[in-house]
Structure 1
Amino acid sequence: MICATVLAEAPKDLERALQSPARCIEARLDPYRGDWRAASELLAKLAQSKVVIATIRSKEEGGLFRGGEEERLGAYLRALEAGPQYVDVELNSEIKEEVVKAKGTSKIILSVHDFSGTPPLATLKSWADAAVGAGADVVKIATTARSWEDNFALLSLIGSAQKPTVAFAMGPLGLLSRVFAPLMGAPFTYAALDKPAAPGQLPYGAMEAIYASLGLYSDLKSLGEMRIALDAVDTALMHLLKLRLAICRDMGRLKKSMGLPIYDDVRETEVLKRAGDFRQLFDLVVQMCKAVQVAVEP
């Protein structure tokens, strides 16, 4: 499952998450500056229709929370009142025991984030064991990849711990583990609903495009499964269309700087010919891209 992360600075960010096709939302509440009553109401609505992970990430592990630990504990307790399916708190935080005691029906994710690198496998395993011992329902370990081999160390944790484990590497070299973690048994991986919340986090649409291309949405049996697949494919298509428009925008800027004409009838004919049965659709896409090129400033 792809969990779309939203950095919730205001209620409108949670509203956008509610309207998104993502089935799982990580509500990062550490940057939140709005009315907590509004946040609690929106979290409750999210939890009624989606899987929700409520997180108030500490500054020490990459978060944006400005207050002290007592204040952060209060924020966690307010988040728990909304009934999220999961609450993520750091294994090394001072408040983890209080959060675990107050979890109610929510499951606890105890997490470790290392932005300096990836320690030896023995250390990674000791973190996982410590999280299980501290009351984790799910273990999450995210380190920073300095080599491709770091991905394999993290992925080897999945299935080896006593509890469900999410393990992946951050940064450009960690992309492999982000994609393969759920394929190897992790309950979820993370993607950005809007702007990335961690180094190397891909857009939600990009992740859906990857999994759709890998055939995850084939052999569907029920109408519900098919609708979920369609939502995923639609999200992937919109991501790719936005990417195409961005490239066309840069192309228009380059053409104008070189004094070249925006329209290229030969190129357009080639694109539409390749489109085959999708010619009518691609004709609309081409017109949109031409309009973007015309409007761009050189």
Structure 2
Amino acid sequence: MDMPLVCVSLRGCTISEVLKDAASATAAGADLVEVRLDMLWSKKEVLLEEQSDTESTKDNPKIKKNVIFTPQELDYLDLDSVLVSLRQGIVLPVILTCRPKREGGYFPGTEEQRLEVLRKAIESGVSWVDLEININAEEREKLLQLAKKGGTKIIASSHVLDEAPISKEIIQDVKDNTDLGDVIKICYNSSGRTDGINLFEAAWDLKNSKIKTTIMGMGQAGDWNRIHSPILGQAIVYSTMENGWHLAQKGMINTTDLKIAWEMLEYN
């Protein structure tokens, strides 16, 4: 069985935090890491919220921590310096991503400025770059050609903030965008069993195609495709070095836990 590449989405709003997480990902046996450049344009704040006695449990204490990320001004970050630090400080192949606000990201500038960030990311010689499917077609083609010239592979991504449609629609989304990248990444919000099944069925029906995909959900049951990605023929599975019961509610999974699950399921 061909195993998917394990990609750790690195945490952190500073370059030092990102590099520290990258070292942990390397030690955990990740194949590659994703750096969210847009996160480096944000500041993390932890807000404490007091809950009522009925909401409070052993696993859900009276004081709840809410983490928010606040976008900063464009000149907050020295991008050129960051790209050098990433190239020097991370030994694994890297996916550089700069997610726009329309897809849940934190980049504070205009779309034109964001495309310039992606251009610089490609020119830095990075192994992979994430280009959203809905980027203006003409501008996206320019980035695609630049990436091909430099040997940078493309993740063609779509992060839909709506819940997952039926599996046939997900499959059509993938097929409609096959030519836009080396791997097609489709991510929907998921709120439970029905969404999880739709995402699983779509990946299952595509597993014998020649299309390299990574299909997942963010929310309840969104981790099903990650856990079972080896039998679904997914090219890449995204994980995190973060720990905690809350990950399942987000559709995420810890990298070590993912590898343990694969061993228990005899996938590897």
Normalising by the residue count of structure 2, what TM-score does the alignment of the two structures yield? Answer: 0.71
How far did 1:8 drift? Answer: 4.4
Equivalent position of 1:296 in the other structure: none
Equivalent position of 2:95 in the other structure: 53
Alignment of 1:69-80 (within 5 A): 69-80=111-122
Question: Of the candidates 141, 155, 161, which is equivalent to residue 109 of structure 1?
Answer: 155
- The answer to whether the 8 Å contact 1:23/1:50 transfers is yes
Question: Of the candidates 194, 203, 213, which is equivalent to residue 165 of structure 1?
Answer: 213
Question: Residues 87 and 180 (structure 1 numbering): CA distance in 2 closer, same or farther, change over 3 Å?
Answer: same
Q: Does 1:40 align with 2:83?
A: yes
How far did 1:99 drift? Answer: 2.1
Cα distance in structure 1, aligned partners of 2:120 and 2:230: 30
Question: Residues 184 and 45 (structure 1 numbering): CA distance in 2 closer, same or farther, change over 3 Å?
Answer: farther
Deviations 1:62-107 (A, max 9, x none): 2111111111111111211232221111101224323212212111
Cα distance in structure 2, aligned partners of 1:207 and 1:50: 19
Q: Does 1:193 align with 2:241?
A: yes
Structure with the greater alpha carbon radius of gyration? 1
Equivalent position of 2:200 in the other structure: 152
> Aligned residues, how many?
214
How far did 1:162 drift? Answer: 4.0
Equivalent position of 2:254 in the other structure: 203
Q: Per the alignment, in what secondary structure is the counterpart of residue 32 of structure 1?
A: helix
Sequence identity (%)? 25
Cα distance in structure 1, aligned partners of 2:142 and 2:226: 30
Note the residue ranges of structure 1 that are not aligned, 5 or more in a row.
218-298
Equivalent position of 1:96 in the other structure: 140
1:96 partner amino acid: R
Equivalent position of 1:11 in the other structure: 15
Q: Does 1:128 align with 2:181?
A: no
Equivalent position of 2:228 in the other structure: 180
What's the RMSD between the two structures over aligned residues?
2.4
Equivalent position of 2:36 in the other structure: 28
- The answer to whether the 8 Å contact 1:182/1:188 transfers is no
How far did 1:41 drift? Answer: 1.4
Question: Residues 186 and 38 (structure 1 numbering): CA distance in 2 closer, same or farther, change over 3 Å?
Answer: same
Greater share of residues in helix: 1
- The answer to whether the 8 Å contact 1:3/1:23 transfers is yes
- The answer to whether the 8 Å contact 1:30/1:57 transfers is yes
- Which stretch of structure 1 is more off in the superposition, 50-59 or 187-196? 187-196
Greater share of residues in strand: 2
